[in-house]
Amino acid sequence: MKRPESSEHPAYYTHYISLVKGDNVLKQLENQVIDIQAIISEIPEEKENFAYAPGKWTIKEVLGHIIDTERIMAYRALRFARKDQTHLPGFDENEYVVNSNYNNRTLYDIAHEFAIVRESNLALFKHFDEETLSQQGTANNNEASVRAILFMIAGHANHHLNVIKTKYLMG
């Protein structure tokens, strides 16, 4: 699968897309299931509800945010893939986290949910052909292609996994 062109997505996707190495985004999406399990195995119990600064999310909330965002982005990809031209709304990720209850769950449970969500999305994404990947739609007043959304999902997860490694697990 070719990488999305800048014309296929809003500018704020660029950072996330740049975090996807190579063109095989499906392989990277598959590998992230293992990556999250590996990171979770490194988190000591006393850090599970740790936030590195006031007002920042806990590790559990960061992982939950990855899940919530993937669900929303996958929904957008499905709508656009099916040529649905309805303009979709944005979402407030901070409100989602506040109302998520992720801190009252186990890391294992959150990792399991991530794996289920990802596997379900991969079952859909693996069958998108070039025409489907090129379909565009509008969400949050921005146009994006299905291809760009897949890269954004992978890059968004990479971004937050890097944050967990550098800001939560170092030191």
To 10 degrees, what angle do helices 146-163 and 59-81 make?
180
DSSP summary character for residue 78: H
Name the pTM for this structure: 0.96
Residue 171 is predicted with a pLDDT of 57
Instruction: Give Cα 49 to chain centroid, integer Å.
Output: 21
Residue 112 is predicted with a pLDDT of 95
Task: Tell me how long the chain is.
Answer: 171
Distance CA 154, CA 150 (A): 7
- Yes or no: say if 29 and 156 are a contact pair by the CB < 8 Å rule: no
Residue 27 is predicted with a pLDDT of 97
Query: Which residues does the chain have with pLDDT short of 50?
Result: none
- CATH class of segment(s) 6-168: mainly alpha
